[in-house]
Amino acid sequence: MTSVEPDDWDGEEDVAPPALAPGGDLQRFAFVVDEAGAGQRLDAYLAAAIKSVSRARIRRAIDDGRAAVEGVHQKASHRVSLNERIELQVAAAVDAPRAEPIPLDLLYEDDAIAVVNKPPGMVVHPAKGHWAGTLAGALVHRFNELSGVGGLVRPGIVHRLDRDTSGAIVVAKTDAAHQALAQQFHDRMVRKEYLAIVAGRPDRDADRVSEPIGPHPTHREKMALRADHPASRPAETFFEVVERFPGFALMRAHPKTGRTHQVRLHLAHIRCPVLCDKQYGGRARITVGEIRAITRNKRLAPERAEDAVLLGRQ
């Protein structure tokens, strides 16, 4: 999938998301509410109980659905009761990215912002299994000044793109620029557009998908279409077909919101998963021979160089 304008997390998720979510290392805490804590809001109770974790990280964990009261996920405003058991999972803090001399495709730059074309295969900020080769490391090396609003882990980063997604990312050099950009994303003033090659054949020229997205019930690295989780958020995407081919199509996506994996999930929902997106229903790879056979409407018979992988997930 290629983004020609930026993706982001919308609403509460407009700013760059937790560095290790979804997935990553988690700190786990468990408490039983005593008389002194009874009646408090869940976020206030946990902030008072856990001195080693900032209130912001605790609130983020609650909003991500990682707080449970008697086994049931609750919102930050939930009032806790005497003898209730509370469990919390907080994304472990990570160190600031080290500067790395990685070439950047700079699309635009002025004194306040820069726009970078992120290549596929590059993670935006350090996370479990991806401590080096990040966009954040490249930014620290390239620019003398970056906004600190996103914290040490996300210098200048206002929004994000998935590792295997390419496209434009807006970088803030100053805190004022960061806050202004974040507000524009929050107010949905940013128009986002993706181009995706999908498997299957869309049955209509244009479509709208409005399905909430939340954590996957069993796989921490995935998201799911679900409305039954406190961390689920409304999600809406408009699609239109650019061109159809035998067995696949080129589609344009305009996400109204910006949830994690939103475009990929919504395309899978209409049975047109992103080509080679094995995580959400696509095949792991496609070969030159298969493309040639498909375009000629012939049975697949790849041989020699045609067995070479044309496209695959990294």
Question: Torsions phi, psi of 265, nearest 5?
Answer: -65, -45
Exactly one of 10, 162, 207, 277 is catalytic; which is it? 162
Euclidean distance between CA atoms 244 and 248, whole angstroms: 7
DSSP 274: B
The total number of residues shown for the chain amounts to: 314
Q: Is 34 a catalytic residue?
A: no
Euclidean distance between CA atoms 198 and 110, whole angstroms: 36
Give the three-class secondary structure for 90. Answer: strand
Containing H/E element for 210? strand 206-210
Is cis: bond before 126, omega within 30 of 0?
A: no
Euclidean distance between CA atoms 311 and 1, whole angstroms: 11
User: 194: which strand partners?
Assistant: 3, 253
Q: Which residues participate in catalysis according to the annotation? A: 162
